[in-house]
Structure 1
């Protein structure tokens, strides 16, 4: 009952588009990386927060959305993420496309990502240039280093973005939250900013590199109201439970809204 509906097998047209998209992604990433190296070397000494590098990363990601005929990301309530406030941003995770989708916020934040990604040519180099934070799963020392780097980023005024489930969910329901993001929020006294996404699984299912779309859809990224650690006595367990409860309810509400207007193929009213 909790599993998402299984999409039909993709057509030959969609398989060809999938192959083209990933080849284009690699090619454009290579071009973008070479184009940014010299500006990065010049600007970075004057840009301690690495704002330019992240701006460049989300510009690249959003140009990928622009060239796709199969989806347009709808961003709601982005104004809730204030430019003068650092947050611990947490988001649900159902697809390999979630990271690209999050860049649609066009806001400054720093990802926490698997350390292996940083070893990838061009992609990993761009992540390192932007000040993103790596972690090796199951490694206690790596986790401690990650937390220290995240605290440093928050002190600089940068928002830290995490998937608290740790990995992609296989059902319509979120996986249990890991506590790292909420320990970080309580220790640094920074608000948690919940963000929910619906439609990325329908675009690119978990563990698949083939898109499943025959018609254009409108995945939705919605920013919820921030939650202060003080509202839960700076207790990471209570804070995590409160955030999980709010995000679960918000996801169900968003799904109901999408179904009421006729599905993901119908663009939400502006």
Structure 2
């Protein structure tokens, strides 16, 4: 599998520095990960030609397992970036450096995750990557599905697409939850995995990013496309992280837009 050339480096110095650091590691990682993944899992990849080779795109996928963030970059015909906890890149011992190099090898960009300002910083990081003409991968459900069902999409992906004009490539990942179930420390050898890339979605017809109706309509279109590819049972609800404390429980119970 050959690599498509990357567009010009982003103007943002922090992003540019990280991408520069990751460049050689990424290419070396591809040389190792791609044949290894093919040998161990023999993944079936469908619709690779649906992924635009240049320009900003958001790869929006269902989320079943930790290895989704490995399977998608390995299967994609171009470099795909996703955000990962900055702690994965900060280890100084042998294991820490190994983890950091592995994360860079699959196209990960470090970011401090959390609520409030951390969440806004993550959104800004994704916007900078898209403004640079790169491809980012996101999970509209927000977190992994532990029961195999497809949950309602949160509007953050649609907001980013509407704000930047990036097209969204829907992806249906099948079988990764069997290959590495939640809680497993190592993936199972021989599990069948399928990655399906759908046709790019231009969501601009829904309206402006500052419109709640536009964000909701665009999100529903994204999730419908993912559902057609993944063929999962629909949960019909959001995949909420268990609430911690009385205030958070009240917040989840009240109507609000899931971002």
TM-score normalised to structure 1 length: 0.66
Q: Residue 104 of structure 1 corresponds to which residue in structure 2?
A: 75
Q: Secondary structure at the match of 2:169?
A: strand
Q: Secondary structure at the match of 2:124?
A: helix
- Relative to structure 2, which stretch is displaced further, 224-233 or 120-129? 120-129
**Quick check: which one's helix share is greater?**
1
| Structure 2 counterpart of 1:116 | 87
- 8 A contact 2:168–2:200 mirrored in 1: yes
Shift in Å at residue 204 of structure 1?
1.6
Residue 242 to residue 110, structure 1, CA distance change in 2 (3 Å): same
Q: How does 1:253-268 map to 2 (within 5 A)?
A: none
Question: Structure 1's 153 and 210: CA in aligned 2 closer, same or farther, altered over 3 A?
Answer: closer
Partner SS, residue 56 of structure 1:
helix
Among 132, 148, 151, the alignment partner of 1:156 is: 132
1:80 aligns with 2:50: yes
Contiguous gaps of at least 5 residues in structure 1: 1-43, 254-270
Aligned to 2:10: none
Count matched residues: 206
Q: Once the 2 structures are TM-superposed, how far is the Cα of residue 96 of structure 1 from its aligned partner?
A: 2.1
1:16-27 equivalent positions in 2, closer than 5 A: none
Which deviates the most, 125-134 or 164-173? 125-134
CA contact (8 A) 2:174 2:195 kept: yes
Shift of 1:145: 1.6
Matches within 5 A, 1:108-187: 108-119=79-90, 120-125=96-101, 127=103, 132-187=108-163
The residue aligned with 1:225 is: 199
The secondary structure found in structure 2 opposite 1:177 is coil
Mark the CA change 1:179 to 1:122 in structure 2 (over 3 Å): closer, same or farther.
farther
RMSD value, Cα: 2.9
**Residues 99 and 125 (structure 1 numbering): CA distance in 2 closer, same or farther, change over 3 Å?**
same
TM-score of the two chains, using structure 2 as the length reference: 0.69
Matching of residue 236 in structure 1 with residue 215 in structure 2? yes
Separation in structure 2 between the aligned mates of residue 94 and residue 112 of structure 1, nearest angstrom: 17
Query: Structure 1, residues 112-159: CA drift from partner, whole Å, max 9, x if none?
Result: 223333334332255468874344443221122222222221122111
The alignment partner of 2:172 has SS state of: strand
Q: Distance in 2 between matches of 1:129 and 1:205?
A: 22
C-alpha distance in 2 between matches for 1:106 and 1:239: 25
- Large movers: runs of 4+ above 6 Å: 47-50
Secondary structure class of the residue paired with 2:199: coil
Q: Which residue of 1 aligns with 2:231?
A: 252
C-alpha distance in 2 between matches for 1:84 and 1:106: 11
What is the alpha-carbon distance in structure 1 between the residues aligned to residue 139 and residue 230 of structure 2? 15
Aligned in 2, Cα 1:130/1:201: closer, same or farther, shift over 3 Å? closer
Could you say if the C-alpha distance between residues 111 and 65 of structure 1 is closer, same or farther in structure 2, counting changes exceeding 3 Å? same
